[in-house]
Amino acid sequence: MKSFDAIVIGGGQAGPFLAARMVEKGMKVALIERKFLGGTCVNAGCMPTKTLVASARAAYVARNSAVYGVNIPGEIAIDMKVVRARAETVTMNARNGLIGWFAGMDGMTVIYGHARFEDPKTVSVNGETLTAPRIFLNVGARPVIPGLPGINDIDYLTSTSIIHLDTLPRHLAVIGGSYIGLEFAQMYRRFGAEVSVIEHGPKLASREDEDISDAIADVLRSEGIDIHTGVSDIAFARSSDGITVATDSARIDASHVLIATGRKPNTDDLGLDAAGVISDKHGYITVDDRLATNVDGIWALGDCNGHGAFTHTSYNDFEIAAANLLDGADRKVSSRILAYALYIDPPLGRVGMTEKQARASGRKIMISTRPMSRVGRANERGETKGFMKVIADAETKKILGAAILGIEGDEVIHGIIDAMNAGTTYPALQWSVPIHPTVSELIPTVLGDLKPV
């Protein structure tokens, strides 16, 4: 049996950085990764997909360049092999950077294999037994495959496998109208595929307010994406030239099907029972406000704990654990203000409460919206789709939440994220002097237009 000061299971965006901090403190750490360092973000999420989004936007801009007085003769062709290779290069550079970083650390042992608990202080991997007083789980999540009729009879894609395509689908059917599915839908439409989105719920991006969901659908429809919502029945069958997707309202002749119906934690084969670690009915490991499980000496970080399914929340889990365990702090998950983005074009930046949540809270609230068509920078850039929306507490004057669907919305939202984290009231922000011409310069204007509801 090999002994360590700590064992980290999973090489995503929390565990490896925590392992590095512990090594800096002189600890002996084992980092166990089943497949690739970097987790979903580096290998099948943020980095490759946003690289693909950038290629798709380049194609879109080129096709629409005449609007700006730039004439490109001939057809805009897409070389999917080059597109794929570019995304793969970005992934490999990041992955290899992590490999090199850890290789240079004395006290760090990186082990590739499948780890399972033998007891609360012991795990087995590759036939070896390892023990440590502290064990951290950062095992991530994977796509959910629903039990739909005929799904096992077709060759479907997931968010992991679709990034390796080096040919262009004739017609991509996306099953699921949430964030992952919508990004791939617009991306492949811009590459030149016909695209249909099939969503069980009544709206796309169901987490958002209805006006945001409707605006997202308008953006996608304007680019020729076929959207089906409120679909109760879906079945698949092979056809002579692809896959038939039959719903209760339509029949789609697709060449490829992307299943984007959610994700589930990679906790079902960890041997949690042997350690006595409790998880909920969905497989998410139950943790307290400081990310500790019910078993002393075991923590769960990142997607597997159900407290955020984003790279930045996973990394923040590392920050919380490191601050509490190594720096004598007392940081809590409940102090985190959730923010995220949807990377369609234009992107959606989101922070805090939706209007629906704010109304349900019983607070007296104020709301302000402004269409991007009334933002000078958006007009100059010729990108006026979407709008800005802010919700505030009428009594405390604190900002409760915001949504910016529009050009650079994923960047502009950070002004509001920072203000919310600092506890700044909205009247204080109205006195800021922003740079012109920018999209962010309209934040004080939107705040000045807040009205009670």
- Please report the domains of the chain, with CATH numbers, ordered by start residue: 2-142+264-335 (3.50.50.60), 151-261 (3.50.50.60), 339-452 (3.30.390.30)
Catalogue the long-range contacts made by 232-239 (C-beta closer than 8 Å, 24 or more residues apart): 232/200, 234/148, 234/149, 234/175, 234/198, 235/148, 235/149, 235/150, 236/148, 236/149, 236/150, 236/151, 236/153, 236/154, 236/156, 237/150, 237/153, 237/154, 238/153, 238/154
365-371/451-452 β-pairing:
antiparallel
What are the φ and ψ backbone dihedral angles of 210, each rounded to 5 degrees? -60, -40
* pLDDT for 42: 96
Tens place of pLDDT per residue across the chain (453 aa): 999 999 999 999 999 999 999 999 999 999 999 999 999 999 999 999 999 999 999 999 999 999 999 999 999 999 999 999 999 999 999 999 999 999 999 999 999 999 999 999 999 999 999 999 999 999 999 999 999 999 999 999 999 999 999 999 999 999 999 999 999 999 999 999 999 999 999 999 999 999 999 999 999 999 999 999 999 999 999 999 999 999 998 999 999 999 999 999 999 999 999 999 999 999 999 999 999 999 999 999 999 999 998 999 999 999 999 999 999 999 999 999 999 999 999 999 999 999 999 999 999 999 999 999 999 999 999 999 999 999 999 999 999 999 999 999 999 999 999 999 999 999 999 999 999 999 999 999 999 999 999
436 is catalytic: yes
Prediction pTM value: 0.96
Q: Please tell me the distance from the alpha carbon of residue 157 to that of residue 197, in angstroms, as a whole number.
A: 14
Evaluate whether 244 touches 262 at the Cβ level (below 8 Å). Answer: no
171-175/256-259 β-pairing:
parallel
Buried b (16+ CB within 10 A) or exposed e, 304-313: bbbbbbbbbb
* pLDDT for 344: 98
Reduced to 3 states (helix: H, G, I; strand: E, B; else coil), residue 233 is coil
Q: Of these residues, 200, 256, 282, 436, which one is catalytic?
A: 436
Q: Please tell me the distance from the alpha carbon of residue 369 to that of residue 373, in angstroms, as a whole number.
A: 12
Length of the chain equals 453
